[in-house]
């Protein structure tokens, strides 16, 4: 380049400021960004809804029976494990497990009691969300009653 900013033959032009194109993906299919506007609530998955139903029931029980349920863990699994024979700690509907009570082991390195609910079998048996909420509530009550050695009606 000369002093007056002219380009000499055979030289490339000096690089100028880069222009930034719009936020498009590399294939040119559209703008990147949120798929759902910020004002619209995002849809929740079935697993998230199920977890909320379990939490609602457990929180209600813990309000009334905090001392008895202090060390109890509650868990949700999608499907029950493959076992040929289920123990008496498994709540079944026919041959399909709905929940399992693992009593725990006392001691220094012991495991706390744990109640596991199986989401898919419970969802399959419910007609709608209200029916699922009732079913989850009943199953948790039955498992907690089994753990505490009381009648499920005494927990409500």
> Burial code of 94-126, b = ≥16 C-beta within 10 A, e = fewer?
eebbbbbbbeeeeeeeeeebbbbbbbebbbeeb
Distance CA 72, CA 67 (A): 10
DSSP strand E in the chain: where? 73-77, 90-93, 96-102, 114-118
The domains located in the chain, with CATH, are 46-155 (3.30.2010.20)
Please report the pLDDT score of residue 154 as a whole number: 87
The token pair at 71 is 């060390």
Please report the pLDDT score of residue 42 as a whole number: 74
> Is 111 within 8 Å of 103 (Cβ atoms)?
no
Q: What is the pLDDT along the chain (156 residues), one digit of tens a residue?
A: 555 556 666 666 666 666 555 555 566 666 666 667 767 777 788 999 999 999 999 999 999 999 999 889 999 999 988 866 556 678 877 778 899 998 877 766 778 899 999 999 999 999 999 999 999 999 999 999 999 999 988 887
Distance CA 104, CA 31 (A): 53
Distance CA 130, CA 99 (A): 19
Distance CA 84, CA 111 (A): 25
DSSP strand E in 7-150: where? 73-77, 90-93, 96-102, 114-118
């Amino acid at each position: 380049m000369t002093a007056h900013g002219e380009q000499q033959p055979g030289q490339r032009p000096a690089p100028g400021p880069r222009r930034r194109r719009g936020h498009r993906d590399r294939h040119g299919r559209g703008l990147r960004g949120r798929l759902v506007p910020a004002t619209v609530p995002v849809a929740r998955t079935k697993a998230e809804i199920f977890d909320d139903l379990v939490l609602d029931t457990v929180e209600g029980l813990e309000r009334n029976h905090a001392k008895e349920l202090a060390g109890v863990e509650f868990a949700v699994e999608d499907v029950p494990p493959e076992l040929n024979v289920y123990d008496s700690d498994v709540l079944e509907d026919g041959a399909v497990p709905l929940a399992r009570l693992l009593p725990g082991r006392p001691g220094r390195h012991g495991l706390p009691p744990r109640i596991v609910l199986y989401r898919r079998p419970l969802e399959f048996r419910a007609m709608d969300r209200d029916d699922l909420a009732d079913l989850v509530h009943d199953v948790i009550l039955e498992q907690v009653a089994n753990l505490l050695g009381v009648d499920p009606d005494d927990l409500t």
